[in-house]
Amino acid sequence: MTRFPLYEVMELNARFKGASPEAVLTYAAETFGERLTFACSLGLEDVVVFDLLSKLPEPPRIFFLDTGRLHQETYDTLAALRERYGLPVETYFPRHEAVEDFVNGYGPNAFYESLELRKSCCAIRKLEPLARALTGADAWITGLRSDQAATRAGLERFELDNAHGGILKINPLADWSLEQTWAHVRAHQVPYNKLHDQGFPSIGCAPCTRAIAPGEDIRAGRWWWESPEHKECGLHVKIAQETR
Give the annotated binding-site residues for [4Fe-4S] cluster.
121-122, 205, 208
**For ligand SF4, the closer CB: 54 or 151:** 151
**For ligand SF4, the closer CB: 78 or 121:** 121
Catalytic residue among 28, 48, 81, 233: 233
Residue sitting closest to ligand SF4 (CB): 205
C-alpha dist (Å) from residue 129 to 55, 63, 69: 27, 10, 14
At closest approach, how far in Å is the CB of 75 from ligand SF4? Answer: 15
At closest approach, how far in Å is the CB of 159 from ligand SF4? Answer: 22
At closest approach, how far in Å is the CB of 120 from ligand SF4? Answer: 8
Cβ(28)–Cβ(36) below 8 Å: yes
Strand partners for 65: 92
Nearest to 67 by CA among 86, 47, 85, 42: 42
C-alpha to C-alpha distance for 151 and 228, rounded to whole angstroms: 8
At closest approach, how far in Å is the CB of 187 from ligand SF4? Answer: 31
**For ligand SF4, the closer CB: 95 or 186:** 95
Binding residues vs ligand SF4 (CB under 6 A) = 67, 69, 111, 118, 121-122, 125-126, 204-205, 207-208, 233
**For ligand SF4, the closer CB: 160 or 208:** 208
How many CB atoms within 10 Å of residue 110?
16
At closest approach, how far in Å is the CB of 164 from ligand SF4? Answer: 18
- DSSP code for 62: E
C-alpha to C-alpha distance for 225 and 223, rounded to whole angstroms: 5
C-alpha to C-alpha distance for 175 and 144, rounded to whole angstroms: 9
Q: Cβ-count burial of 172 within 10 angstroms (0-12 exposed, 13-18 middle, 19+ buried)?
A: buried
Q: Report the C-alpha dihedral over residues 122, 125, 130, 135, rounded to 10 degrees.
A: 130
> Is 40 annotated in the active site?
no
Cβ(226)–Cβ(118) below 8 Å: yes
Residues at the binding site are 121-122, 205, 208
**For ligand SF4, the closer CB: 125 or 219:** 125
Residues marked as catalytic: 233
